[in-house]
Amino acid sequence: MSFTLQAPAEYREEIRKSRFLALAAPIASAAAAQAFIEGHSDRAASHNCWAWKCGAQYRFNDDGEPGGTAGRPILAAIEGQDCDQVAVLVIRWYGGIQLGTGGLARAYGGSAAKCLQGGARVELVPRIRARCHVPFAELARVKARLAEWQIVIEREDFDAEGAALLLSLPAGRLDAVARQLADLARGQILLQPLD
C-alpha cells in the first residue's frame, strides 16, 4: 500500500549549528517534481538536496554534498515511509561544524522522514478510466454521486441528449459503479471501461 501527501509539508531542525528545512509535496509527474524543486530551492543556502519518486521513476541529487550522503538518504526516507508521487527538498545552511558522511546521511534522511511523517497522507488507489453517456435529466444527480464515490470526471463533452463523461475511478469499483449508475438512471447509463 502506497501513500502520497494530501498537501505540502515542512519540517525544520538544527543539527550541530547547521539549519535544515525539509519541504515535501505531492507530485503527478517528473515535470511537477522539478517545478517544485526549482520553485522552492534557496540559492542563498549551502545546499539544496532533493529526491522524488513517481511510480517507477525516481531521481535524487546531492547538490555538492559528498556522494550518497543527501539525495539517496532522502529517497530512502520516501520509500521507508511507503510514499509515492512525492518530492522532498532538504535545504541546508552550513553552520561551521562538519557532520561527517554518516552525520550528513542521518541529517538529510531524518529530516525528510520527519517531514513526511508530519504531513497529511492519503492512500494511493490504482485507478482505471471508463466512459459513459448521461442524459441531461440525470446529469446533476450523477455528478453529485460521482463526487461521493471519489470518481473524477476527466472530460465532459456535450451533445443534443446529454454529456459524454470520461471518468477515473478506483480499479476495484468498476462493476459496483456500473450497477449503481444503471440503477440511478433506470438503465439509461452504461459504463464502459477503456483499455
Cα 40 from Cα 25, distance rounded (Å): 11
Cα 174 from Cα 15, distance rounded (Å): 50
pLDDT tens for each residue of 112-131: 999 999 998 888 878 889 99
Instruction: Pull the grid cell for residue 27.
Output: 507530485
User: Is residue 9 a contact partner of residue 35, using CB atoms and an 8 Å limit?
Assistant: no
Strand 57-61 relative to strand 47-54: parallel, antiparallel, unpaired?
Answer: antiparallel
Per-residue model confidence as pLDDT tens for the chain (195 residues): 788 898 999 999 999 999 999 999 999 889 999 999 999 999 999 999 999 999 889 999 999 999 999 999 999 999 999 999 999 999 999 998 889 999 999 999 999 999 999 998 888 878 889 999 999 998 998 998 887 887 888 899 999 999 999 998 888 888 888 899 888 888 888 888 886
pLDDT tens for each residue of 135-170: 999 899 899 888 788 788 889 999 999 999 999 888
Q: Which residues contact residue 67 at a Cβ distance below 8 angstroms, ignoring those fewer than 6 apart? A: none
For 43, phi then psi, to 5°, come to -65, -20
- Please give the share of the chain, as a percent, with pLDDT higher than 70: 99
